[in-house]
């Protein structure tokens, strides 16, 4: 884990979820910056423009490019494939597919603070 705090890319089409995640992450003192994207396509653009992202929190169901599609792109890119990805979902049925593609962990919505940081700790070791 970076000494000066994590830079986390949060990807969700629901602005309320994005704000909630950002609030939880920034209050922890372990995150220095939260980069927000409203779909997988915007998130891929953010990843192309930045090389300091430490972790992706990725919603599965989104318009334009969903989480499964974005995860495929990330895992196929030599520069990004080692990046930890935690999938966010209300739908357990996509879990197996996302794990097969290379998701590191899952969080069920609504996201609770203690569960969020347990998952972050487990994937950032």
* Digit-coded pLDDT (tens) for 21-65: 999 999 999 999 999 999 999 999 999 999 999 999 999 999 999
What's the CATH code of the domain at 106?
3.40.50.2300
Q: Is residue 11 part of a domain?
A: yes
1 located within any domain: no
30 belongs to a structural domain: yes
In a domain, 75, yes or no: yes
Q: What is the mean pLDDT of residues 2-10?
A: 89
Give the per-residue pLDDT at 91.
Answer: 80
pLDDT tier at 11, thresholds 50, 70, 90: very high
Nearest-10 crossing angle of helices 40-49, 67-76? 30
Domain for residue 18, yes or no? Answer: yes
- Identify whether 92 is part of a domain: yes
Does residue 77 register a pLDDT over 90? yes
CA dihedral 60, 57, 51, 69 (to 10 degrees): -10
Is 93 in a helix, a strand, or coil? helix
Instruction: Inform me whether the pLDDT recorded for 90 exceeds 90.
Output: no
Identify the pLDDT of residue 1: 61
Number of domains in the chain: 1
Q: Where are the alpha helices (DSSP H) in 1-125?
A: 15-27, 40-49, 67-76, 95-101, 113-124
d(CA 37, CA 49): 13
Tokens read off for 89? 């979902």
**Mean pLDDT of all residues in the chain?**
94
Find the domain containing 115 and state its range: 6-124
Share of the chain above pLDDT 90, in %: 88
């Amino acid at each position: 884990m970076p000494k000066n705090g994590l830079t986390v890319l949060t990807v969700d089409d629901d602005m309320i979820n994005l704000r909630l995640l950002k609030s939880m992450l920034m209050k922890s003192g372990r995150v220095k910056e939260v980069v927000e994207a409203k779909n997988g396509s915007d998130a891929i653009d953010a990843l192309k423009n930045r090389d300091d992202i430490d972790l992706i929190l990725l919603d599965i169901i989104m318009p334009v490019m969903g989480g499964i599609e974005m995860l495929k792109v990330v895992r196929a890119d030599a520069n990004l494939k080692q990046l930890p990805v935690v999938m966010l979902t209300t739908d357990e049925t996509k879990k197996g597919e996302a794990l097969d593609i290379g998701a590191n962990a899952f969080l069920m919505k609504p996201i609770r603070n203690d569960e969020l940081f347990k998952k972050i700790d487990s994937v950032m070791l």
